[in-house]
Amino acid sequence: MSEEIGKALQSVRERVQHAAARRIKTLPAIDPRLVAVSKTKPVDVVIEAYRHGQRYFGENYVQELAEKASDPSLLSSCPDIKWHFIGHLQKTHINKLVGVPNLYILETIDSVKLADKVNSSWQKKGSSEKLKVMVQVNTSSEDSKYGLAPAETAGLVKHIREKCPSLEFVGLMTIGSFGYDLTQGPNPDFQMLLAQRDMVCEKLGLQIDSVELSMGMSSDFEHAIEVGSTNVRIGSTLFGDRVYSKAVKEGANVTSTQNKS
């Protein structure tokens, strides 16, 4: 297992770097962050990937993340691990998420109410650092996808920056539609997120290179990086196909389209 994970990580890292080298020069020269999506995979898989130099890991379900992040063997073996929460966050699960050890970024803030509740919960935790958050945008306008409408993006970012003192806005995230045919040109969902960043930066006076773009998964991460992604979420390409237990399926409360990576 260790050798397979090591080879997969090396291969994906090379593909990430080659894709970054193909970017047009007008895009911010930010090294893309590889987030290894470990959902449904056991703790020992995470530990092996960590041993091969991987530090950023993503999970979709709060309960699964809380269990893995609190595992004694993982805590002792992976002191510098950084967890990304990349699934839909229900308000009833906020306190559990906030309590996760080594939580690094919450990528899926999609409403003022959710931002306010996460801010309040993080304040109560008493952390000396702000919680990094991204705003999730539904760029494909699909009912099966979470995220706010593009027209609401700037307003939510402004609210987080001005009304949520315990949160640090760091970027925008999208799922996008699946199976887009790149022979038709650049993925319009990714182009939409790029346009949203331009608009947010112009309206709020932010620097382009200070706003990350989280877009791209196993099937399309190279294209996503080429057009500007700074954060890609890759699972099956690294760890193989997922096997969902009955408990995970019943407890997810998330559409299947939300959780591919």
Average pLDDT over residues 102-113: 98
Residue 244 predicted with pLDDT over 80 = no
Q: Comparing 110 with 25, which gets the higher pLDDT? A: 110
SS3 state of residue 213: strand
pLDDT at 245: 57
Written as one string, the DSSP assignment of 183-202 is GGSS-HHHHHHHHHHHHHHH
Q: Confidence class of residue 183 from pLDDT cuts 50, 70 and 90?
A: confident
Residue 117 binned pLDDT confidence (cut-offs 50, 70, 90): very high
Q: Lowest mean pLDDT: which of 129-143, 185-199, 246-260?
A: 246-260
| In the predicted structure, residue 251 carries a pLDDT above the cut 70 | no
How many of the other CB atoms lie within 10 Å of CB of 207? 8
pLDDT digits (tens, 9 = 90+) for 34-75: 999 999 999 999 999 999 999 999 999 999 999 999 999 999
**pLDDT band at residue 242 under the 50/70/90 scheme:** low
Split at pLDDT 50, 70, 90, the class of 241 is confident
pLDDT for 18 equals 96
Mean pLDDT over the full length of the chain: 91
Superfamily of domain 1-234: Alanine racemase (3.20.20.10)
CB contact at 8 A, 176 and 187: yes
Q: Which helix (H) or strand (E) holds 159?
A: helix 153-163
* Over residues 188-211, mean pLDDT: 96
Question: What average pLDDT does range 125-145 have in this prediction?
Answer: 92
pLDDT of residue 185: 83
208: Cα within 13 Å, side-chain hemisphere: 13
Write the pLDDT tens digit of every residue in 90-101.
Answer: 999 999 999 999
pLDDT bracket for residue 259 (50, 70, 90): very low
62 near 89, Cβ under 8 Å?
Answer: yes
**What pLDDT is stored for residue 181 in this prediction?**
79
Amino acid at 11: S
